[in-house]
């Protein structure tokens, strides 16, 4: 694990430790460490949601598939693998430890020219902070509108396609650090 991934992994672990036992902002279910990681990856860090409520909020059609996509994403990112292992150690009997890693491999979107409705320079925001703010910005767009995102975090080329697959938004173009995302129709 390189220094960047190690720092991000430790940040995730510290965040989990500080929020362990917090309740879902929607249904009040007490969140385990694994649920906290799911919430972070989906952009629900400020008001953590359980994966069931997060699936509802993002429009995911199947909770099991969403969890498998997240686990697949975690397996491809050293910082999330590190945090998932920590969650396993904290909660060895948690049923979510057994969620299989699945979903398609991360890949960039098609290279089409689209005019954005909004532009956001996220700088070097990474992991949870990036997807949290991105979720809010996408929510502010109308269905089918395009956000031009400038993201310089080294993990963005993998994080953003995975986030789009998990939330139903479309990655229209990916030429790091520039990404075009189309808001899903609800």
Query: Helix or strand or coil: residue 67?
Result: helix
The CA-based diameter of the chain, rounded to the nearest angstrom, is 49
- Catalytic pick among 50, 79, 127, 164: 127
Q: Answer whether 116's CB lies under 8 Å from 138's CB.
A: no
CB-facing half-sphere around the CA of 18: CA atoms within 13 A? 9
Q: Is 24 among the residues known to form the active site?
A: no
Q: Answer whether 39's CB lies under 8 Å from 47's CB.
A: no
Q: Answer whether 163's CB lies under 8 Å from 43's CB.
A: yes
Rg (alpha carbons) of the chain, rounded to whole number:
16
ω into 2 cis (within 30 of 0): no
Q: Of the candidates 104, 116, 56, 114, which has an alpha carbon nearest to the alpha carbon of residue 76?
A: 104
Q: Which residues are catalytic?
A: 127
């Amino acid at each position: 694990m390189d220094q960047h991934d190690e720092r991000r992994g430790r940040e995730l672990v510290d965040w989990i430790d500080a929020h362990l036992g917090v309740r879902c902002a929607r249904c009040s279910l007490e969140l385990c460490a694994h649920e906290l990681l799911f919430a972070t990856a989906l952009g629900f860090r400020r008001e953590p949601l359980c994966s069931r409520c997060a699936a509802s909020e993002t429009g995911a059609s199947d909770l099991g598939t969403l969890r498998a996509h997240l686990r697949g994403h975690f397996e491809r990112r050293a910082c999330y693998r590190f945090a998932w292992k920590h969650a396993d150690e904290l909660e060895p009997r948690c049923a979510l430890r057994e969620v299989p890693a699945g979903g398609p491999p991360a890949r960039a979107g098609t290279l089409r020219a689209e005019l954005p409705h909004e532009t956001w320079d996220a700088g070097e925001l990474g992991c949870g902070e990036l997807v949290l703010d991105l979720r809010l910005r996408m929510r502010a767009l109308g269905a089918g509108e395009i956000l031009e995102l400038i993201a310089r975090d080294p993990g963005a080329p993998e994080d953003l396609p995975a986030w789009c697959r998990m939330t139903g938004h479309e990655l229209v173009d990916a030429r790091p650090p520039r990404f075009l995302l189309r808001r899903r129709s609800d």
